[in-house]
Every structure is written in structure tokens, then in C-alpha cells.
Structure 1
Amino acid sequence: MNQSVDRRTFLASAGVIAGSSLLGSPVRAAVLPVPSGAPAAPNFGLTKFLDPLRIPPVLRPHSGRHQDLLTIGMTTARLRLHSQLPVTPLWTYEGCFPGPTIEVRSGKRVRVAWSNELTGTIPLEAVRVPFTRPSPANLPGYRAPDGSLPAGVAPIDGVAGLPPWTVVHLHGAVANGHNDGWAHNAMLPGDAQLTEYPNRQAAAALWYHDHAMAVTRFTVYAGLAGMYLVRDAEEDALRLPRGEHEIPLILTDRNLDTDPATGALTGRLLYKLPYATATGTMVPVTGPFTLVNGVIWPHLDVAARWYRFRVLNAANSRFFQLDLVDEAGTVQHDAVRIAGTDAGLLPAPAAVPAGGLVLTPAERLDLLIDFGRFPGQRLRLTSTGSPGEPDIMEFRVERRGRPDPVTPPDRLAASYVRLRHGTTVPADHDHVFVALLPPNVANEPNPVLWELAEITDPAELPTRFPVPGILQLTDPATGKVRTFRKVASLFDDTTTLFLDRGQWAVWHFIQLGGAPHPMHVHLARLQLLNRWTYADLAAFDLASGGTTTPLPAPGEGPRIEKWEEGWKDTFQVRQGEWVTVAGRFDGGTGEFMYHCHILEHEDMGMMRPFVVHPPEVAPFHMHPGGSGHSGHQAGG
């Protein structure tokens, strides 16, 4: 990572308010027209690619008597997201948005004290607006010129008074449950969350963020996120780009409030939640401003050589479809190689698919880009199909070519093993079945998650269908009809999923309609095994939340690309897909969570707990409904 950027340099470049003095000269906000029904200019008066990309400072733990130590303060800060904007109040780690990049060594235990030093209530405006097309959520501001609220627009009750109640989750970490950032274990200012991370995992780009129960969508939006890099000897030996040629790219999107009378952007964060007035269904939040490392539409000066970018989608809900585009508008995928995914390096660099790279919330990509092909040119990183402005950032390549000291190797992680059902995933493994259901199932206005258990006793099978909470599915691996019942849905329903430490588990995510869901499983690294797609979901009855007849077996879905075979912890499950992923739960014990990583979905109920315990303890654990593990289910 770039070692030349310290915290003071970062804060100065961000235009931080220190006391009452602005570090840097004041800048007048652009005066914009008041948002109306007509689409505004996509940049809303801000000059694209005006500001340089900021590189978050790097923190490495210092050695104590028994282990490496870090203290990281959560503080309220005022930073510039663009030099043509006023400062924006934020909740941050160490005064930075995003937080500092923490860099550790694999196998080296680190203790972190996350100190809550935040002040005031949450620094954002949160409102509901009626959902229409084009969506008003992708326009800044929400008040009429006289300051009144238009029809259907209202503050989200209670958000303005939210205190700084926080708990940090290290996303992708292999650690015990008491270090995982359990959502209910949040703390108020004046306290610290003490955690230990064993870092017993391969080199990977993890990230840390707030995970407070029911309000994660607000706290992360307010700024509480940062990157965490694990290094190991295997990665060191590859001689990939390092130092100033290895750069984090943390992608987010945000909306901003405006002065009602002038239309000028105030700099204050605006959380603008669309909802369907007829049903009350909430639409996940996206914003018109794309940020990289906390800067709206930045640029980066690069040498004409290979670079390594650690890319993270830290947005609440926005999917980025990434393309590298030259000055003529031509997509230049040949200059990009994918070196790794969420949880580590690939066995070999993978090509970018012709349709670009879709990066869902919480996913990471390890990208290698050869700028030596483009001396003196400007290239853009774009997001195809994004609402509003597709541009993300600009790369400005130096004119002078020079010998490149780095050539990416043909082979990367020699330790990588591709998982196969029944071979590298042993026959003795658990199965977990989770249904992802669209809005308006049984009058529930938002998407829901059902934990499923198979009905194996013929005497328990219903005689007539549909039955609420009962799904009949044709297993794509065996062709047999299987009947499942809902055993849990909300987070605080009874825990039903118990896994033995060291056990392999295959998770089945079955999406029966609605928007895609990036499903994240805590604790383990996993691989995508299969992806099937239903041609017809007509047998699923929305009103009852059950199937009228068995759903036919899904057919083969889109092929699994080479880069999708990597170790991951977050997986996209699209409409009508049955996706299976597998991993071994041997890195820790305790209570963990799995959930959709669209933060609005997570907070509105798409999150459930699971327990990992030693197998010797399992016989003594009185599970709900008798002995046995919900996860220990027969099947393909």
C-alpha cells in the first residue's frame, strides 16, 4: 500500500474542520436548480475528475508483550467529499472516511480496541419518498423551495435521534464468535469493544464496518467502514505490484441535501429511501454521487505500468458493473486481470468477462491493470447500467513509457483447491437450506428470508397445497421432490442452525422472486459450487407463501466464470436461482450471523444467527424441538 500518506496528510486533503479552522481554503458550494420532476444534469454542478483520489492511511499493529495491539477511535469528523462542496459531517474511524487500511500478517494474532468516541446524533437526514420512475431518490434534496415537504415525503421516524450505538464486524474474518461483532452487542460512547483476530487465513482483502442491530444501513452510510489486508508468504513471493502501485478502491454512493431556497448542495448526507405507496415496500437506497475512497468522481495519476487495485463495494445496496473504458469509449478488458476475490488469491489470473464485472455490496476484487498500454491517455472506470452518472473515476496515465519491473505471474495461489461435491467436499457434510422470497409474500411488504427444514416423515406431509410456509422443490441434483417447512425468519426467532466445528457445510440459497441478494455468511470462506435457474416460478403462490405444486427442477444457470471459482464470503443470488456454496466451519466457535448484504434488507429482517460448537458438546445441547442439528440434513 502507499506508505507516503499519513493520517495528517489524509485529513488535510479531505479539508477537515479542526476546531473552527478549516485545513485548506474555503470553497463555495455549487448553486444548483431545485430538484423537480425533470431529470437534472447527472453531475449536479460538480466537476467530474477534478479532485485527486485520496489514499487512506495505513495502520500496522505495534507489538505488545503478548500480541500485536491497535487502538482505533471512532470519531465525528467534517470532511470534504468534493472540493466544490462544503464539508460533510461524518462518523469515522480515526477521523478518516473510509477508515484507515489495517495491514496484518497471516497467523499473527492482533488485538484491537475499537473505542467509541463519537458525539451527537447520527449526522444525516433520513426521509422516505414515493418510488416512481425515474426515481426521485437519485436527485439531491427533498424539500420544496419554501422548505415544505412534498406529498408523500416524510422523515423516517426516530433516525434523527439515533445515538452512536456501534459494534464493529471484521467482514471475512476467521475468528471466534465473541470477536465477530454480534449485532446486539453494540456500545455507546465512552466504551470500547475489545477484539482479537487470529488472522489464521490466507492473504486477502477483508473490511471492517459497523453492524449494530437494525441500524447498520444508517451507521455505515454515515461513514463507518474501512479495509483490512491480510498478508502472507505466498503472496509475498509473487512479486505483485506493491507500495504506491497497490491501491485500495473503496466504492460507495451517497446522496446530499440541498438548501431549499437556492438548490445549493449543503454537503450534509441525505439518506433517501424510496417506497411503493400502494404496498409500503421499501426500495434499497442508492445515491447519484459515486465516491471512491470518500471522494466524488476522483482522478488518479498513474505510471505507464502494472498496478494492483484492491476493490471493495462498500455501498448500502448499489451493484457496480465495472468496465475500464478508454478516451474513445472502447472497453479495454484485455488490460485487466482478476487476481483474487473476497477471501484470497485465485490459482491463476482470470480474464474479465465480456459483460464486465458485477460487484455486489460487500464483495471484493483484486484487480491488476496494465497502464503501460496507454501512455498519455485518460481512462475511466465506469459502472454500466447505474442510475444516473455511470462514471466512477478517471486514470491519467503518464506520457513517458519505462521498463515495467513487474510482470504478473501466470500462476498465483498454489495453495488453492477447487471444491467439488463429494470429493474435496467430503460426503459427510451438512446441508443448510434458505429461501429468499420477494416482497408481498403473505402480506409482508419487504423481501424475507426463510430458514428451512425438510419434512421427511410422510405422516407430517400436508394433504392439500398450498400451505403457508411449506415449499415443495425438485432437487436439481437428484430430480427428487423434497418438502420443506419454514422454521425461522426473523433474527430473534429461535436459533435452529447448529454446526459442529470442523464440519463441512453446503448452503443452498433458493431465490423465488424479486431483486438479487448478495448473501454473506460469517466465519468461513466458501466457494460457489452450482448455479441453477428456474424457468418458471408459477407454482409459488405469493399470497399464501407456499407452493401449489412442486416447483420443477431448475435448469443450468449462467456458467460459473473462472473468477467466480475463488474463495469468497459473499455470493450474488439472482431471481429464480438455486445457488449452492460450500465451506468448512473450522476457524472458530460461538454464535455468528448470515444475511443479505443489501443493508436495507439486512436491517428489515433478512438476517439469521447460527452456532458453531465443538462436536463433543453437541450431544449435550438441547436443540429446539429435540436433539439433532438443523444443519445435518440429508440430500445432495
Structure 2
Amino acid sequence: MTELISTPSTVAEGPTFGLTKFLDPLRVPPVIRPHSWWHQDELTVTMVRTAVRLHSQLPPTAVWAYDGHFPGPTIEVRAGHRLRVSWTNEIEGKIPLVAVRAPLASAPQDSPGFRAPDGSLPEGVQLVDGVSDLPSWTVVHLHGALTGGGNDGWAHNAVLKEASQLTEYPNRQQATTLWYHDHAMAITRFTVHAGLAGMYLIRDEEEAALDLPSGEHEVPLVIADRNLDTDAAGALTGQLLYKVPYLTTPTGQVLHLPFTGPFTTVNGVIWPHLDVEARWYRFRLVNASNARTYQLRLLDDETGEPLDDAVRQIGTDGGLLPAPATLPADGLVVAPAERADLLVDFSRLRGRRVRLTNVHPTAAPEPSVMQFRVEDRDRHDRFRLPAKLSTSYVRLHHGTTVPEDHDHVFVALVPPGTAGEGHPQLWELHEITDPGRVPTELPAAGIIQLTDPHTGRVRTFERVASLFDDTTSLFIDHGRWAVWNFIHLGGPAHPMHVHLSQFQALDRTEYPRDAATGNVTGFDVATGGTTAPLPPPGPGRPLDPRDEGWKDTYLVGPGEWLTIAGHFAGATGNFMYHCHILDHEDEGMMRPFVVMPAEAARFHIHRFGGGHHHGEAAHDTRSHGGNAL
């Protein structure tokens, strides 16, 4: 490869805290293919404590890792081939990270270290009590998998050292990019941060027929940000640092923000590079960050010229798109837990050094993600970008591909500070159908009134649950379709993930917001309810090809009303839905739901009915969750 002449870069640069960008090559996790010639259908994946180098200029970093790899090995299976995995916990010792809270004004979260030079804690900085005592208590969730509740990674079903979690994955779904990660109740933000994440690929004949780039030309990209501690001299130690900021409002309320860090890792390497041939490559990308959203662009590393036109997106969380899609003009937004299946034509970029960078407003001080170094020669590449991808894809629409007889789920996302709570909250809503129970004075705590955009009718909803251990109120009959309504009343954007099913977005609409607070106009934070019926929402940002693809995680912005549709078939049991900002999930933004056969559900006595078919034996019919719009 011809060396490039160094010229001044016009790409935005930020502090690197003594580390050289693009110094280290990208590591590619090993691949496990259980369904090979000996027809193995069982695996044991062992979690251990190990040490890795996040950068060659750093000391080793202690992590928890699947089979000793950070990220874990890529598991590759065939669609329809059952796989049983024994996730075995052999992790020694306590969690290998330091967790602190620091005032946002005096100790920015996107800077390493937290101690004064003499080792003392500066004013306002506090160690997070109890984190250093956490044992290895783990439970694996295969994110995006259609599998039974007993295999899904129920958060309370974590196991301690010298125990195993036994799971079965039917893999009865189309070719797609899944990922696995820890999901232990209340501590997921720490266990995933410590290293427990990896990629899982499903292959099928539809994908194989496309003859996409493969082998060394198909590369996983597991992107995650991290922070590191420093010693008394200010040098990076390699010790993982979980530093979260807090601020105090004028009313004295303390608000904690989620973790983000100054160092971007790809496959466990800080700002790596990858030498590539001048041909098409396929990249399987997952945002495994705790909270950071990326807005990715491909730029010439010297001139800053946008090169996004060399990229095509061919798949989303749940599988292939019907046709290749160009990147949005302002970059590809990938929220925590979202995946993107990308093709890049490096033959158009011969001899260049190309930077993948994050242009999101909340990007780290150094926005670079990684660098591609493209050889300066011609390659014979037989691959040609197909005009069509998934021939099995069907676009969902109300009343046609989504049958008229379906359930509706309503969830409100409410801002920090609501009714005195310092964290954003998730409210499960049920409609009040008895006029005598509708409050006569508003605002009332936990009461949301809105105007149905289809009928103009005012509907009153009450909060029936918020925390995970509140009464289960959502029950869906196996085999039914459900439309989920996420109504974001203010606060940060939330990547909402629903287990078990894959979805398509039906609509994004938007409410007016208060210019000062950013909250939906008409929502009273002090009381926690609407002051009057919200008007019908107006047009929101249009759906893009990513929204129309199959997905299990959706970024919902403040003021948005997002509706998504999914089919709850193929498995039953207890499942979860939650915000995939892991701090939010652990701080209460997670709720359970139950899928069970309709024939059994008719005999199930419970407080709330989740669908239209509330059973004959369920005599307590005080609320129904399945009121269709």
C-alpha cells in the first residue's frame, strides 16, 4: 500500500488524554459455529475474569468476559437450527471497576480520573457505595431472539459463580444481527460495562443467495465507550472508571445523568484502525454503549470530505431491508442496542485513510470511532450491489398486514423531576372506561388525558405501574398482534426495547413542547399529570428505511408518540421491555409482560387484562390493556 502524504486535517479533533489515535489494529473476536460437520447443537460459554489491553499505550485492564474475550466470541448459527448454550459463571472476585458520582460542573464525565493529585476526593465527588462489593451474578439475554421466557434472561434469574444458566435458542427467525449481554437485575449497567457483551449472527438461504461479502470481508463492529482512572501523576492506569455526573436543580433536587465516557472502543480497542482492500466489505455494527447514541459519518481523514455515499445499509436489528438504503444526509443514528448491517465500497476510496466519526451533539470530546486504511491498488471484486435484498419482507400497515383485531399497549415516558422523582420514569397506562372514575379536576397524579388522533375522542389513562416489581398488568395472548404506543412527555431520548418480537414502526407523531423545559405542553411535572386533554399530535419526523425495517429497539425523542407493531408468536412466558440506556433500565425504566396461550389465559385470574380476550375465569375486570385505537 502506498503511504499517504500527511496534510493538515480538517476533521474535528479532540483530546486523547495521551493516547495515539488509530495506533492499534482492530481486533476481530473469534467465531463459534456450532452447526458444522459434526452437527453439534450445544455450547458451553464460560464467563471469566481476565485482562485485556484496550490500547497498546495502556496497562492491562481487568474485565469480565465471555470465554475470556472482550467482546465475547461471535456465535454464528443457521436459521431453524436449535442451539443450547450453557452460560457458565466462573468469574473470580468482585466487579473490576471503580464507580463514582461527580458534580457535572466541576468534574465533567467525559474526562478520565476523579481524584485530586494527593489521592483525596475533590468536593462533591463520591464513591458509589456498594459497587466495589458486587459479586459475579450474571444472566445472559440474547437481544432480539425469539425464544421462550425461560431462556430469555429474566433479570432475577442470575446465577453466582460455579453455576450455569441453561438456555435454548430455536433460531426460528430470518438472517439477522443479534447480540448477547448480561441482564442482571439492578446492576446491568455495571456488568455490561465490565465486559459482558458479544455478537450472535443468524444465517439463512435468503441471505446466502445475495452472495454478500464474507469471510475476512465481513467484520463485526461492537462499539462502546469507556472511561479510565488515573494515578497521582495524571497518567491513565487502565482501570475501568464508571463516572456519572449529577447536578442540583434550583429547587435542590439532585438529578443523575447516565454514564458516557471519553474513550470509544471498537471490538475492545480504543480508536483502532483496519487495513482494507479496495473492494466491498460488510460490517455488522452494534452499539453496545451504556447510554451514548452515535451519529456516524464516513469522512476523508485528511480533508474532512464526506464519503457517506460509499455506504449502503442493508439491514436493521431484525434482518435484511427490502432494498439497500443510502445513509441519511446528516449521518446514521445508532442508539444503544440498535444494530446496522452496512456495506462499504472501498474501491471508490483507493489509497485513502477514512475516518468513521460520531457527529452526534452528545459525542465524546474526541469524536473519532476508528480509521480505515484503504490499499492503493485495483481489486477484482465479483460482488455487485443488488437492487433487491429481502424478498420475504412485508411492510406492516394497520388493518391489513396488521389485522384489525389486535391489542394496544400504552406507555408514557415522563421527564426527570416528575412528582419529585430524580430519574426519568416509565409509566404503564390503562384506559379508564368507567366515566365515574375519570377525575373531575386536572392535573391529577398519574392521569394522562389525550385526544385520539383518529376519532377526536378524549381518552383518560391512569398509571397502573411504574417499577419492575409493581403488579404485572400487561398480558398478551400467544399468536396475537400488538401495537405499542410510546408517548414521550419530556426528558432525554429513550431507546425502547421490547423482548420476544420484532417490530415495524407504523407512525411517528409529535406534540408541541415548552421552550423552557422541553416537556410536552400541558404536562404538569410537579403533579405528574396532564393539565387538560392533550390535542391530537402533529406530524413528526418521517419514517426512514431503518424504521420500516424489522427492529426491536427504537429511539423515542421528547414529544414523540411512536407506534410500533409486532406479532407475539412462537414463544410464551415472562418477558421484559425497557429503556436500553442501562442506567435508566436499572433505575426503574423496565417492566414485565406475559405471553400465554389464549386457551389458558381464559382461566387466569389477575387484576388487569392485557388484551381483548379477558378470560371467563378472570372476574376482576377493573382495567383492560388492549383498547385499540
**TM-score between both structures, scaled by the size of structure 2:** 0.93
TM-superposed deviation, 1:403: 2.0
Q: Which of 325, 339, 342 does residue 350 from structure 1 map onto?
A: 325
**Contact 2:321/2:389 (CA < 8 Å) preserved in 1?**
yes
1:178 alignment counterpart: 150
Matches within 5 A, 1:581-596: 581-596=564-579
SS at match of 1:452: strand
1:633 alignment counterpart: 626
In structure 2, distance between residues paired with 1:96 and 1:566: 31
In structure 2, distance between residues paired with 1:585 and 1:406: 37
Given the superposition, is the C-alpha separation of residues 628 and 52 from structure 1 closer, same or farther in structure 2, using an over 3 Å criterion? farther
Matches within 5 A, 1:7-46: 42-46=15-19
**Contact 2:229/2:237 (CA < 8 Å) preserved in 1?**
yes
Number of aligned positions between the proteins: 595
Matches within 5 A, 1:214-363: 214-259=186-231, 261-277=232-248, 278-326=252-300, 327-363=302-338
1:407-460 residue CA offsets vs partner (Å, 9 max, x unmatched): 121100000000001110000000000000000100011000000000111111
**2:419 corresponds to 1:442:** yes
**Contact 2:14/2:367 (CA < 8 Å) preserved in 1?**
no
TM-superposed deviation, 1:279: 1.8
Given the superposition, is the C-alpha separation of residues 150 and 413 from structure 1 closer, same or farther in structure 2, using an over 3 Å criterion? same
TM-superposed deviation, 1:627: 4.8
TM-superposed deviation, 1:191: 0.3
**Contact 1:381/1:392 (CA < 8 Å) preserved in 2?**
yes
1:84-107 residue CA offsets vs partner (Å, 9 max, x unmatched): 000000000011000000000000
**Contact 1:141/1:256 (CA < 8 Å) preserved in 2?**
yes
In structure 2, distance between residues paired with 1:573 and 1:321: 15
SS at match of 1:442: helix
**Contact 1:63/1:69 (CA < 8 Å) preserved in 2?**
no
> Structure 2 unaligned runs (5+)?
1-12, 514-519, 609-618
TM-superposed deviation, 1:334: 1.0
SS at match of 1:349: strand
Q: Which of 322, 335, 358 does residue 383 from structure 1 map onto?
A: 358
1:132 alignment counterpart: 105
Given the superposition, is the C-alpha separation of residues 49 and 442 from structure 1 closer, same or farther in structure 2, using an over 3 Å criterion? same
TM-superposed deviation, 1:65: 10
2:469 alignment counterpart: 492
1:287-343 residue CA offsets vs partner (Å, 9 max, x unmatched): 000000000000000000110000000000000000000131011121110100001
**2:409 corresponds to 1:428:** no
**2:597 corresponds to 1:597:** no
**Contact 2:61/2:240 (CA < 8 Å) preserved in 1?**
yes
TM-superposed deviation, 1:633: 2.4
Given the superposition, is the C-alpha separation of residues 63 and 297 from structure 1 closer, same or farther in structure 2, using an over 3 Å criterion? closer
1:213-232 residue CA offsets vs partner (Å, 9 max, x unmatched): 00000000000000000000
In structure 1, distance between residues paired with 2:586 and 2:99: 15
> Which amino acid counterpart does residue 241 of structure 2 have in structure 1?
L
1:26 alignment counterpart: none
In structure 1, distance between residues paired with 2:491 and 2:485: 17
**2:592 corresponds to 1:609:** yes
In structure 2, distance between residues paired with 1:99 and 1:111: 17
TM-superposed deviation, 1:131: 1.7
Matches within 5 A, 1:46-85: 46-61=19-34, 68-85=41-58
1:401 alignment counterpart: 378
TM-superposed deviation, 1:475: 2.1
SS at match of 1:463: coil
TM-superposed deviation, 1:64: 11
In structure 1, distance between residues paired with 2:553 and 2:150: 21
**Contact 1:106/1:201 (CA < 8 Å) preserved in 2?**
yes
TM-superposed deviation, 1:514: 0.4
In structure 2, distance between residues paired with 1:423 and 1:101: 38
In structure 2, distance between residues paired with 1:520 and 1:245: 30
**Contact 1:343/1:567 (CA < 8 Å) preserved in 2?**
yes
TM-superposed deviation, 1:387: 2.7
Q: More displaced, 80-89 or 616-625?
A: 616-625
**Contact 1:498/1:631 (CA < 8 Å) preserved in 2?**
no
In structure 1, distance between residues paired with 2:237 and 2:622: 54
2:457 alignment counterpart: 480
SS at match of 1:379: strand
> Which amino acid counterpart does residue 103 of structure 1 have in structure 2?
E
User: Moved runs in structure 1, 4+ residues, more than 3 A?
Assistant: 62-67, 625-632
Q: More displaced, 324-333 or 416-425?
A: 324-333
TM-superposed deviation, 1:548: 1.0
Given the superposition, is the C-alpha separation of residues 404 and 233 from structure 1 closer, same or farther in structure 2, using an over 3 Å criterion? same
**TM-score between both structures, scaled by the size of structure 1:** 0.92
TM-superposed deviation, 1:132: 2.3
SS at match of 2:602: helix
TM-superposed deviation, 1:573: 0.4
> Structure 1 unaligned runs (5+)?
1-39
**Contact 2:139/2:165 (CA < 8 Å) preserved in 1?**
yes
**Contact 1:524/1:587 (CA < 8 Å) preserved in 2?**
no
In structure 1, distance between residues paired with 2:136 and 2:627: 45
In structure 2, distance between residues paired with 1:279 and 1:336: 45
1:566 alignment counterpart: 549
**2:558 corresponds to 1:575:** yes
**2:500 corresponds to 1:523:** yes
**Contact 1:476/1:555 (CA < 8 Å) preserved in 2?**
no
> Which amino acid counterpart does residue 142 of structure 2 have in structure 1?
L
In structure 1, distance between residues paired with 2:355 and 2:110: 22
Q: More displaced, 513-522 or 626-635?
A: 626-635
**2:72 corresponds to 1:89:** no
> Which amino acid counterpart does residue 613 of structure 1 have in structure 2?
M
> How large is the RMSD of aligned CA atoms in angstroms?
1.5
